[in-house]
Amino acid sequence: MTASTTRRTAAGRSRTAVAAATAVAASLLLLSACGDQTNEAIAKREAKKTRNVHAPLFKKLPKDVQEKGFLQVGSDITYKPVEFRSNGKIEGIDPDLAAAMSKELGIKLNFNNATFDTLMGGLKSKRYDIAMSAMTDTKERQEGIDSNTGKKIGKGVDFIDYLNVGVSLYTRKGKTNGVDGWETLCGKKIAVQRGTVSHDLAKDKSKACESNDSEPISIEAFDNDSEAQTRLRTGGVDAVSSDYPVAAYAVKVSGGGKDFQMVGGAPLKAAPYGIAVPKGQERLRDALQAAVEATIKNGSYAKVLDKWDVKDAAVKKVQLNGG
């Protein structure tokens, strides 16, 4: 009885071992058949399905981009109406324009979310191929200079300018606390998005206040513009500075138009938004420039700007490094 039980147990173990080995082998074969399951490999396979080698500008792209069939785009996807998420979908001026460009290029432009002040570093480390994120074309960014320290931290980028904007101020509706423009902000509190032109302008204006023997501006910098708006909405600051399209959108939609009001008149420091391409990527840069030009020519550019009510910001000519 005991001996018989032992034999059955041994046989059972043997069969179990064989079954386990067979399962492992099958799994290995399955993985081998499926190939590399990394996100990058999956993205490449998906891109090949949608890549259009017959698109008008496909052959203008660098060979490696033609091969992989997509570009990774760094973007701060919290910046309504330029780029934001709605019901899980990325929407806005930049994604819509990128989609129109994709049709001309025959490849996908994949948006990757990041805080704005990390985008230049992401380009330097090659995490992103390009940046498209309401990024103002400035000489400092072109030359790879940190605006805070004045030190060169990289080779810089080339910009393909596609939209002309400026910086605006807004306050709580009916509660301006005496703010009616930048000249009235000395001694007041302002919220901005970190690393933006608004942030730089606020620091410059604060220094001007001190030079005139006035109290400096108290500046609160946030990772994204939505946080700055929340700070204003709750009364923590007196004003917010944002790029004009973002400020206008916030004033129009927040609280059904009851939360904020624009102050200070026309936008300051009018400058172009640019698609940032790392230095040394001239072929990619030129292909992207041609794609923007093609969207202007075929009318899709105007449709995007009309959709988001920013047609006054349209460029007539797609310049390189015009900031």
**Which among 3, 317, 4, 2 has a CA at the least distance from the CA of 161?**
317
Per-residue model confidence as pLDDT tens digits over 121-138: 999 999 999 999 999 899
pTM score = 0.72
200-205: average pLDDT: 94
Cα-trace Rg, the chain: 26
Contact between residue 96 and residue 307 where contact means Cβ atoms under 8 Å apart:
yes
What pLDDT is attached to residue 44? 67
Q: How far apart are CA 68 and CA 64, in angstroms?
A: 6
For residue 31, name the pLDDT band (cuts at 50, 70, 90): very low
What pLDDT is attached to residue 228? 96
Full set of structural domains in the chain with CATH: 41-165+271-320 (3.40.190.10), 171-270 (3.40.190.10)
- Residue 166 pLDDT > 90: no
147-176: average pLDDT: 91
What pLDDT is attached to residue 49? 77
Contact between residue 51 and residue 102 where contact means Cβ atoms under 8 Å apart:
no
71-76: average pLDDT: 96
What pLDDT is attached to residue 278? 97
Share of the chain above pLDDT 70, in %: 87
- Residue 109 pLDDT > 90: yes
For residue 47, name the pLDDT band (cuts at 50, 70, 90): low
What pLDDT is attached to residue 2? 35
For residue 22, name the pLDDT band (cuts at 50, 70, 90): low
- Residue 155 pLDDT > 70: yes
Q: What is the DSSP string of 4-60?
A: HHHHHHHHHHHHHHHHHHHHHHHHHHHHHHH---SHHHHHHHHHHHH--TTSTTGGG
Mean pLDDT of the chain: 88
For residue 43, name the pLDDT band (cuts at 50, 70, 90): low
- Residue 240 pLDDT > 50: yes
The letter for the amino acid at 135 is: M
Sign of the four-CA dihedral 181, 185, 191, 192: positive
Per the model's pLDDT, the better-predicted residue between 162 and 7 turns out to be 162
CA dist list (Å): 199 to 18, 100, 187, 248, 251: 66, 31, 16, 18, 20
162-184: average pLDDT: 94
